[in-house]
Amino acid sequence: MGKVVLITGASSGMGREAAIMLADRGHKVYAGARRVDRMEDLSDHGITAVEMDVTSSNDNERVVDQIIDSEGRIDVLINNAGFGLYGPVEEIPLEDARYQFDVNLFGLAELTQLVLPHMREAGSGRIVNVSSVGGKVYTPLGAWYHATKHALEGWSDCLRIETAPFNIQVVLIKPGAIRTEFGQVTGAGLGKYAEGSAYMALIEPFIKMMINPRMAERGTDAKVLAEVFVEAATTAKPKRRYVKGALARPVIFIRKWLGDSTYERLLRRMLR
């Protein structure tokens, strides 16, 4: 029997491809995103598009209630919505940093809290949290983004132990470099902190790297990650962590086994 799945951040990239793949394989999919106009064609796959901002409690409650009223259950929650805030720690306003945490951590935490009682009542369920290779490594100018992903790693591990007695599984997906809008959007966002910055020697090469089309071409196709989403959401015995995408395993290996000094030399070389 197909599963009832709610996936956030489904208007583009990995989330969109995963929603389509899950629906095409017989699952009932609710695809959430702020840009609902970009999901109109998902109805062709039998997907129900729902407008939602994960930082809005009203949106989160409305969408969960809608699914429970229509389907009677939520089998899988895929917390995919997120973005990358990049800029110097000294110069990013804390208001912006708090919003980064609201989207990447607290929004998905609230949505998870809303879904868990229904999963406990059903005696089964699965929470799939989309972290990043950035949850294990780091880059200059990405302190707040990496902080959210490092936090999500620990949060998910604790949640997995807490929910295991209720037959609720918690899975982490850690994408590497993927061919999505992430690099272009992140590079453009970084530009607003550039004017007059004391950190221009870092910002300029970083922006060039992020918006470089050749950099994007080296990324893994989003459909490859969608296959990982499907496995993490539906296989009987999922892994605790899935690592997939260009550079993901090499950079984790370098930091873990060769140390921070070697890893940081590699970062400096890339930014030249």
Please count the residues of the chain: 272
Nearest to 26 by CA among 49, 47, 40: 47
Q: How far apart are the first and last CA of the chain?
A: 53
Cα gap 200→212, rounded to integer Å: 18
The label of the residue with tokens 């395993």 reads 249
Concerning whether 145 is annotated as a catalytic residue, the answer is: yes
Cα gap 47→27, rounded to integer Å: 9
The label of the residue with tokens 């809008």 reads 181
Q: Is the dihedral of CA 108, 247, 237, 147 positive or negative?
A: negative
Burial zone of 190 (CB within 10 Å; 0-12 exposed, 13-18 middle, 19+ buried): buried
How many separate helices (H) and strands (E) can be counted in the chain?
A: 11, 7
Of the candidates 145, 193, 242, 263, the residue annotated as catalytic is 145
Cα gap 149→166, rounded to integer Å: 26
Cα gap 229→134, rounded to integer Å: 18
Q: Which residues are catalytic?
A: 145
